[in-house]
Amino acid sequence: MTAFTRRALLGTGAAVALASPALAYPERTIRIISGFPPGGLNDIIARALAQPLTGILGQSVVIENRGGAGGSVGATAAARSAPDGHTLWMGIVDTQAINPFAYRNLQYDPERDFAPISLVGKFPFALVVGPSKPGILTFPQLIDAARPGPETITYASWGVASTPHLAMERLLANQGVRMLHVPFTGQAPAMQAVMAGQVDCFPLPAGGAEAMTRDGKTRAVAVMAPAEVPLFPGVPTVKSFGVPLDSGLWKAIYAPARTPAPIIAQLNAAVRQAMTAPAFIEVVRQQGAVPEPSTPEALAEFQHSERLAWGEIVRSTNALIE
């Protein structure tokens, strides 16, 4: 991030202090663009947030799903939208911290082209084994099953250089084994493939993992979190097997760059209020997380630190997309 851009982001608070409370905003329906298909975690959280926002802002808040290229299609559309507060972007770690290093011809810059509004939450991963491998009940058994070669076990992700892809490659490198990566266009189709027995395992957000395991045919063998995840009592962390990995998704709300500071301030207040709605809190809890609202300035700093960290991971795994 350039010094100028960073000063602009960190100066939002000063601009907000001078903002007039009488804003002619919003004037019409607000859309939140999600860069992934319906049914996945991004869609679930965006819709849960849209409901209380509609009441708070006094205008309908709708979700527009624009999947493709690891969320880059939606991010590009959001970045190019009018900076008037009527188009928002539900960004995730993939789109805001990973894609700049994985895609050679990315059409947007996560820091230059977006104005941070608020962090939404951090969602831990669980590693699920599907019905194609009914005899694998534990993490060590999954690793042992992969030892004969990379074609023995397959794992799903929502795209090359996505969070689950990078997390799984780091895990496998630590264990000295390989698996065959099978990328999909989103979390929901990857879940369906694993549950249908077409792919063997999938590291995914805990809420989706819990939904997959309800029938008992799929099993969570480990969580990629610092401590036990309440949705999976008794399921060990990968750290307990000597894997120094803490992986999951974070989600945040943005507006296009150059959106006026008073509108950013109003949206930050509205999003923070929306995240106190009991229905929203319950949806987030069902995903193994808690709401984590922030200031725009704190989100800018957090995103920048994440971009530095994930850049190193992309380079070490050579997960590049032409």
Residue scoring higher pLDDT (279 or 17): 279
pLDDT, tens digit, for every residue of 149-207?
888 999 999 989 999 999 999 999 999 999 999 999 888 899 999 999 999 999 999 99
DSSP 180: E
Same fold, 3-123+250-317 and 124-241: yes
Cα 160 from Cα 165, distance rounded (Å): 6
Question: What is the model's pLDDT at position 15?
Answer: 37
Residue 14 has pLDDT above 90, yes or no: no
- % helix, strand, coil for the chain, step of 5: 45, 20, 35
Tokens of 322: 């032409």
Name the CATH superfamily housing domain 124-241: Periplasmic binding protein-like II (3.40.190.10)
What percent of the chain is modeled with pLDDT above 90?
Answer: 78
Of 163, 173, 313, 291, the residue nearest 243 (C-alpha): 173
pLDDT, tens digit, for every residue of 234-270?
999 999 999 988 888 999 999 999 999 999 999 999 9
pLDDT, tens digit, for every residue of 93-146?
999 999 999 998 899 999 999 999 999 999 999 999 999 999 999 999 999 999
Domain ranges of the chain: 3-123+250-317, 124-241
Q: What is the mean pLDDT of residues 18-39?
A: 80
Residue scoring higher pLDDT (11 or 171): 171
What pTM does this model have? 0.85
Q: What is the mean pLDDT of residues 23-36?
A: 93
Question: What is the model's pLDDT at position 42?
Answer: 93
Give the end-to-end CA distance of the chain in Å, rounded to a whole number.
Answer: 24
Of 126, 140, 291, the residue nearest 207 (C-alpha): 126
Weakest-pLDDT range from 25-29, 76-80, 184-188: 184-188
Under CATH, to which class is 3-123+250-317 assigned?
alpha beta
Cα 319 from Cα 160, distance rounded (Å): 7
131 to 127, 128, 134, 184, 220: CA distances (angstroms) = 14, 10, 5, 19, 12
Q: Is the link from the previous residue into 26 a cis peptide, with omega within 30 of 0?
A: yes
The maximal CA–CA distance of the chain, rounded, in angstroms, is 67
